[in-house]
Structure 1
């Protein structure tokens, strides 16, 4: 596995290194030792999947508030997504900055999202499944989000959303202007 830390400290792109032969391939998707060597969390208490039917579906931007903040390891297991992380850490020099990653079932790339980040995605194909390893149990009263089109972030989503939940449409806008 190849680990690449991004310009948003704590966010990592993890790329598998498949072993390929005449039978096909074998790929390790998680290794506790390699994750720990990079200083990453290795304890995940939930494994969840989300399925989206149509291209352009938008989910997010979600996170859990203290003391229930969570680390996520996200991968696309069917289809393709544009995966987005937004730095919401109060004292971070990259607060309100975002990164987007194309994750596909074929490449098997994963995004490691540390606590303090909002997460969202948009489907790039029809019939998409996304897998989440999550370090914290889902806590409904701590579950919250920010608006996908908040000008504080100015995220360049691939499409106008074709499907989005009422909840995601109604997350509050931040009142803090984007840093210059």
Structure 2
């Protein structure tokens, strides 16, 4: 499991290497809420695609290695496994001059566009961290059958921000 100490260690490792990253997924929601609300099996990070070699090298230096056979895999994402079975789910983004970003989803031209205001900050263990915005998190939680953790996460955003969610 990923705890806040390991999340902050990974973020600091990447910051020291000069890499810009943003937290998504469950940890991103906990960052927005400002407290840990549930257990997390992985850490979703979005990074600048041009920094990917540096991201990988920095994470290898702290005992993470790329896991093969992840579906979906590149170009949309890749996974690095680390100590005690921890997993980092890494998403490369190509930033545009207006601050928006594009994530390639497949080799056939599929893309997802993040608006410039999708990138914000939250707090983990009293430390300000870069993460995805409330609106972006809500957007990602639409159009599928929610799991228990999805229901939990959206409830936390409703409580903290008074936003409407799909479920």
Fold match by TM threshold 0.5: no
RCO greater where, 1 or 2, for CA within 8 Å and sep 6 or more?
1
| Structure holding more strand per residue | 1
Classify the TM-score, shorter chain.
Answer: under 0.3
Q: Which has the larger radius of gyration?
A: 1
